[in-house]
Structure 1
Amino acid sequence: MSTSEAPVLLACAHGTRSPAGRAAVSRLVDAVAAELPGTEVVPTWVDVQTPDLAARTEEYAGRPAVVVPLLLSAGYHVYVDVAEAVAADERHRVSAALGPDRALARLLARRVHEACAAAGAPLGSADAVVLATAGSSDRRAVADCAAVAELLGEELGRPVAVSYLAAARPRVAEAVASARAGLADGGRVVVANYLLAPGYFLDLSRAAGADVDTEPLAVPEGEVPPELVDVVVSRYRSVA
């Protein structure tokens, strides 16, 4: 398809003040654009950074566009901020959030194995895994995160406890402490960070007392995870 035929992809992230987080998201958007030749892929945000989604939808008024929320669960930002931004133009549509998705669970599992190896030993049978998520007051987003914990548990072949960095409980530090209380000798608490990119929440998670913690899904250097790119492209194509 040519650019004029394909709906614009508005890649809508949360926004962050972290330079590393901004770089990671920018690289993800560039990788998505490379997978969709002939499609205009435009970054936008719901908070912190500009231009925000309302400005972008006004900029592309009258043109077909698909908003892909670069958000790992569907909470307030998806159901309110994004919905309001596209409401005025019937040619603007919204895909599902990125998660839950089996591909993201596979990426999380890869991050767990990478982090454990970097810490000196592969993931062991005595290790406990905690999923750290941003958290939300919206029960639908909380359910999305719990579903990802189940998927990650299937990928790793062990139970995974879900935890939250804000708005819901247990908080990550609470889940880490609970996991540590039940550890067998030689076991470690491993936190799998279900976060899109570096930023405030990653810093908060890394202060929760785990023995091992993973990189977020997207990082500012190295490979842009193909699993993540594929999910974004799939979300776009599902409604384009």
Structure 2
Amino acid sequence: MKLVLAFHGTRDAGGLAVCAAVAAGVQALVDVPVVVAYADVLEPSVRSVVDSACVVVPVFLAAGYHVRADIPAQVAGVPGVVVTPPLGLDAVPAVRDRLVEAGVRAGDSVVLGAAGSSNALALETVRVAAQQVGACAVGYVATASPKIGEVVAGTPGRVVVASWLLAPGVFHSALVASGADVVSAPVGAHPLVIAALVQRYRSAVAARLVRAAAECQTC
């Protein structure tokens, strides 16, 4: 079954490079075609690449609007297509690694820097991610509050922002400009992220095979 990696979409060259690197990493671990599609901003859209023999894996850190509404709407009416849960909290180990790479030290005040969402469940995912990363607070770039600059300014000690973003771009630039002493790199094409996406695909295929076998037994 074809594997469709559904990204948000960005015009930032660094962000596009991350999408390509994630796709290349996933392709190296599976023996099916891997296709990159976008929920917004760019083409090809998810709608334009899905068919009845594909699994769509949303490469999103939380289940906000695009995961809960946009992508399902784009695949609606295509029989057989499977949409997996998003990457979500499986990105936490990669964020921890990015913090280490950035030079986080014992005693630092870690703040999780996220894009933000109007969806309560997406914000809850960010809260849990902050807890798992060991952050003392969360700051948002857009949509939600408190804003990252306010949180950094009100946090004592050496402040390290853990980037809860997939790729570089406008949002990550806002984290860099937040006044923090250190800002970790975005999640990017981390090997643990790639492994998690592959596992999403394989679990979806296995579940589909189980359903197909059950349907055959009732025929």
Shift of 1:160: 3.0
Higher relative contact order (CA 8 A, sep 6+): 1
Among residues 188, 195, 198, which one is paired with 2:168 in the alignment?
198
Report the alpha carbon displacement of residue 56 of structure 1 after superposing the two structures with TM: 1.6
Task: Work out whether residues 54 and 85 of structure 1, in 8 Å CA contact, stay in contact via their aligned partners in 2.
Answer: yes
State the shift of 1:191 in Å.
0.4
1:203-218 map, 5 Å: 203-218=173-188
TM-score by length of 1: 0.82
Q: Distance in 2 between matches of 1:143 and 1:169?
A: 13
1:239 aligns with 2:204: yes
Listed as ranges, the gaps of 5+ residues in structure 2 are: 206-219
Determine the structure 2 residue equivalent to 1:11.
Answer: 5
Among 192, 195, 200, which residue is 1:227 paired with? 192
Deviation at 1:47, TM superposition (A): 1.2
Whether contact under 8 Å (1:133, 1:194) holds in the other structure is: yes
Q: Structure 2: how far apart are the matches of 1:49 and 1:160?
A: 35
> Alignment partner of 1:42: what SS?
strand
Unaligned runs of 5+ in 1: 1-6, 117-121, 154-158, 219-223
User: Is it true that 1:107 corresponds to 2:81 in the alignment?
Assistant: no
Give identity over the alignment, percent: 38
2:55 is paired with a residue whose SS is: strand
User: Which of 27, 31, 34 is 2:28 aligned to?
Assistant: 34
TM-score (ref. length: structure 2): 0.90
How far 1:226 moved relative to its partner? 1.1
3-state SS in 1 of match to 2:56: strand
Residue 201 of structure 2 aligns with an amino acid whose one-letter code is Y
CA distance in structure 2 between the aligned counterparts of 1:213 and 1:232, rounded to whole angstroms? 25
* 3-state SS in 1 of match to 2:197: helix
Q: What is the RMSD of the two structures over their aligned residues, measured on CA atoms?
A: 1.2
State the distance in 2 between where 1:191 and 1:64 align.
41
1:172 equivalent to 2:148? Answer yes
Aligned equivalent of 1:156: none
Matched length: 205
| Counterpart AA for 1:202 | H
Show the counterpart of 2:210: none
**1:90, distance to aligned residue in structure 2 (A):** 2.4
1:90-169 mapped onto 2 (5 Å cutoff)? 90-101=79-90, 104-116=91-103, 123-125=105-107, 127-153=108-134, 159-169=135-145
Q: Give the residue type in structure 2 aligned to 1:107.
A: A
The residue type paired with residue 99 of structure 2 is V
- For residues 140-169 of structure 1, the C-alpha deviation after alignment (integer angstroms, 9 at most, x for no partner) is 11011111111111xxxxx43122111111
Distance 2:133 2:165 in 1: 14
For 2:82 and 2:92, locate their aligned partners in 1 and report how far apart those are by CA, in whole Å. 26
Q: Which amino acid aligns with 2:148?
A: V
2-structure distance, mates of 1:92, 1:168 = 32
| 3-state secondary structure, aligned to 1:89 | coil
